[in-house]
Chains A and B, each alone.
Chain A
Amino acid sequence: MLRALLVLLLLPSAARAGTIVGKLELPSAPERPAAATKGFLERVENPLAPVQALNVPKQIVIVVEGDEKPATPPQVSWDLLGNSFSRPVIAAPAGAEVVIKNASRTTHTLVAKEDAKLIPPGPINPTGPKSFRATDPGKVYTISDPDAPYLTGKLVVVNTQFIAYPDDSGKFEISDIPPGAYKVKIWYRDGWLERPDDSITVNAKGKTELNPKITSLASPPGAGKK
């Protein structure tokens, strides 16, 4: 009954919503960062094949912000796969419930570095969830497991629900966007990228193409705090 009501409420807006599609133009992948941990030896490249490039798109989040603020932000799901998050960076609309699902066989205890009270205390057992709400737009949280420092993810709180994660080739799509003018922001690893083409007008119907060109993956100083 509630589901039917929700569909009826969304129908008018969906009918006049547009879609943004596109592909990121990325520069050459940067060198792999130094390993988070080091044993007795420095890591050495294998002699048979060049080392694989860093998967840059996996660390990018595309956000489209307009004047309209999300009234009922959707739930954001973030999977914990083994010893890493399914995506190292996610964005969540302000006020949205973030649910971390532990898909690994290891119990983890997650803590937000910037706000110890953000995540309810206690471990997340295998297959178990842990949910919380991030309400302050613009805030960035670094979620990690103190027992496994390499297990780290960034949660970026944004003032929109129109968020996209590109695939390995850089393609992305954001649907159900009301027509209007929007600002496009791209987050890479630790901060927002500085770009000139940050405005887009979404049509009421059809697809609006957006191919952001990223010339540099270097974030401006303090970009992560915006």
Chain B
Amino acid sequence: MFLSKIWFFLIALLAGVALTVALVMPRPAQRRYIKEEQDRLAIACGVIDILLTDDARNRVDLAGTFARAPEVVNALESASGADKLDEARMKQVRETGEKIMAGISGRKPDFAMLIDRRGRVVARVKLDENDFGDVVAGRPLVDDALAGYLRDDLWAQNGTIYLVSAAPVIKRDATVSFAGAVVLGHKVTNELAQKLVASLDVDVSFHLGDDDIAGSKSLPLDHAKMQTALKAVANGDPARDCQANHPFDLHAGNDDFTAIVARLPGEAQSRQAYFSVLIKRPETRGFSGTLKAVTQSDLSFANFPWILVGGAFLLALAGGIGLMWVESDRPLRRLANDSVRLAKSEKERLSEDEHGGKYGSIARSVNIYIDKLGRDAKSARTNLDSLLGPAPEGSLGTIDLLAGALPPSRPGGPAPAVAPPPSDFRFAEPSSRPTPPPMRAATPPQGTPPPRPAPPPRPPTPAPIAQQPSPPLRLEDDILGGDSDGAVDPYFKQVYDQFVSVKQSCGEPTAGLTYQKFSEKLVKNRDDLKSKTGCKEVRFTVYVKDGKAALKATPVKEEG
């Protein structure tokens, strides 16, 4: 069984390892999944930044195109020479701007500002159209445009964010001179946000401080967490926020998100303008979640090593069964066969050498018990011999006497062939009369009784005890005494009557044999035998030995 135990231990160990792996494996996979999602978030953030940069390039080109329109150049050149700007001029320039705006294909600007070389707004288109004459010089974008640069910027005004671009207006006649600048503004809208993330499978939101400006999806976001994340990168280059910032968990509505924030550049940055990129946080997949995620194709022969798994299973099964057959079934069958042969008395003992391991131990234990029974039987016989004296020739042997106390079948085959010593006791009274059969037979002995001398001629069967007269008896050797005045035990009285009857039938004298002394002797012998053999009852049998009446005591272990 040793190898079987080792085998089952290994199988259990493998099963434990497999279960542990099955339970643990989803965790690193989950971590990897989350990490990949975070990487995807950072990449999406970077892509949005690139798209906004590309959009800025297009907007700057558009501003340059706008600024090169001859009508704009002439209008601003004319306005720059005027000390004071009037409404008529404003309207004229505004109409010019509106015409150009109408001709723009694609995403049109949400406002345009036409500025003379002094930095004064000559006209506004679409936004604050009636305001003019104010100085906007001083804003970096305007100053740079008036100086001759093309550039972009982000303005935070009217509670929203504008992506602005500017270009200088240059008069190209005989001499080249600066006439002013044009500023175009594109509002950050939900449409722009949706367009930015159309192919990214993320969401983006634009924020101005604690206000949500626009987003690809309307989400009630936790601005405190986002502001905290912004502070972490406050000292770095805003252009690297997507790479430098760490994704963080964000709860919005009923959903959990992973988010990353990046500051928006330009003038709006001083007003805490930033954008956030969000992705739904992947659900935690445990063992059951992983099982649920398994598809039919995962279990196909092409994707799963069924042959390997099946082979391993069969190998484990065959190994276990083989080891059990070698170590358990075969020796057990051998022991069973051996036991059957023992039961059939085809052998006296189990073959200890044929059985190994525990089975050999069982065989040895059985053999030891058989030996013990033999010794006990011998010991019981010896005790009876000491109690009853040597058995008369031709009487039943000890084994015969004990047969009634022994189990009906005995292990180890038949009793030893050695003749048991006599274990009956008798009343020392010579007699030549034949021994009558016992009036009360003991349990018939099992097995083959030992050979014994042929009994003497059978005397005539005595009449039943009840019908026997009960003359006063005289016990000459062992039982002597007068009549008893005590209570009469029916059984002892019966034995006494039988004994007296047999003695009389054998022609022995019965004078002096009183019931009282007889019963006292029986009681003493019964008690002695009980204490020595542990039997519950002792039965006495009257028989004839050597022509004289004799009495045998038989211990009875079981009732009935």
Contact = CB atoms under 8 A, between A and B. Distances in A.
Interface of A: 32, 35-46, 48-52, 81-85, 103-105, 146-151
B134 A104 contact: yes
Contacts of B152: 39-41
A85 B135 CA distance: 11
B286 to A, nearest CB: 44
B178 A35 contact: no
The listed residue with most B CB atoms (<10 A of its CB), out of A46, A81, A103, is: A46
B138 A51 contact: no
B484 interface: no
Interface residues of B, number: 46
B62 to A, nearest CB: 13
Nearest to B136: A82
Given A39-B266, A46-B64, A46-B168, 10 more contacts: A40-B53, A40-B152, A48-B172, A48-B176, A49-B176, A49-B178, A52-B178, A82-B134, A82-B137, A146-B270
A38 B381 CA distance: 122
A84 B148 CA distance: 19
Most chain A C-beta atoms within 10 Å of own C-beta, residue among B140, B142, B265: B140
A204 B350 CA distance: 150
Contacts of B135: 81-84, 103-104
B329 interface: no
Contacts of A40: 49, 52-53, 55-56, 152, 265-266
By DSSP majority rule, is chain B's interface helix, strand, loop, or mixed? mixed
A59 to B, nearest CB: 13
A76 to B, nearest CB: 20
Closest 3 A/B residue pairs (Cβ)? A84-B138, A82-B135, A83-B138
B304 interface: no
Contact of A41 (B56, B136, B137): B56
A38 B137 CA distance: 16
A36 B140 contact: yes
Nearest to B139: A83
Contacts of A46: 64, 148-150, 167-168, 170
B327 interface: no
B153 interface: yes
Contacts of B57: 41
A226 B134 CA distance: 37
Nearest to B152: A39
A150 to B, nearest CB: 5
Contacts of A82: 119, 134-139
Contacts of A84: 135, 137-139, 143
Task: With a 10 A CB-CB cut-off, give which of A36, A50, A83 has the most chain B CB atoms.
Answer: A83
B87 to A, nearest CB: 16
A77 to B, nearest CB: 17
Contacts of B265: 37-40
Contact of B170 (A32, A48, A85, A150): A48
A80 to B, nearest CB: 9
Given A37-B266, A44-B149, A49 B170 contact: yes
B144 interface: yes
A54 to B, nearest CB: 8
Interface of B: 49, 52-53, 55-57, 60, 64, 119, 131, 134-144, 146-154, 163-165, 167-168, 170, 172, 176-178, 265-267, 269-271
A55 B170 CA distance: 19
Contacts of B266: 37-40
> In this complex, which of A37, A45, A104, A105 has the most chain B Cβ atoms within 10 angstroms of its Cβ?
A37
Nearest to A53: B147
A151 B143 CA distance: 12
A44 B151 contact: yes
Contact of A44 (B53, B139, B150, B178): B150
Contacts of A45: 148-150
A51 B150 CA distance: 10
Given A46-B148, A148-B270, A81 B53 contact: no
Contacts of A83: 135-139, 142
A93 B380 CA distance: 141
Nearest to B133: A105
A51 B149 contact: yes
Contacts of A81: 119, 135, 137-138
A150 B148 contact: no
Contacts of B64: 46
A52 B170 CA distance: 11
Contacts of B148: 45-46, 49-52
A109 to B, nearest CB: 13
A220 B262 CA distance: 39
Contact of A35 (B134, B144, B163): B144
A68 B149 CA distance: 47
B222 to A, nearest CB: 25
10 contacts: A32-B147, A35-B143, A35-B151, A39-B151, A45-B150, A51-B147, A83-B135, A83-B137, A84-B135, A150-B138
Nearest to A52: B147
Nearest to A55: B147
A37 B138 contact: no
A92 B110 CA distance: 43
B144 A43 contact: yes
Contacts of B165: 39
A84 B149 CA distance: 19
Contacts of A44: 60, 149-151
Contact of A105 (B134, B138, B141): B134
B140 A37 contact: yes
Given A32-B147, A35-B151, A41 B60 contact: yes
Given A38-B265, A38-B266, A43 B151 contact: yes
A38 B147 CA distance: 15
Contacts of B164: 39
B76 to A, nearest CB: 14
Contacts of A147: 270-271
Contacts of A38: 151, 153, 265-266
A105 B136 CA distance: 10
Nearest to B177: A49
Contacts of B150: 43-46
A81 B152 CA distance: 22
A51 B137 CA distance: 16
B154 A52 contact: no
A83 B64 CA distance: 23
Contacts of A43: 144, 149-151
B137 A37 contact: no
Contacts of A32: 147
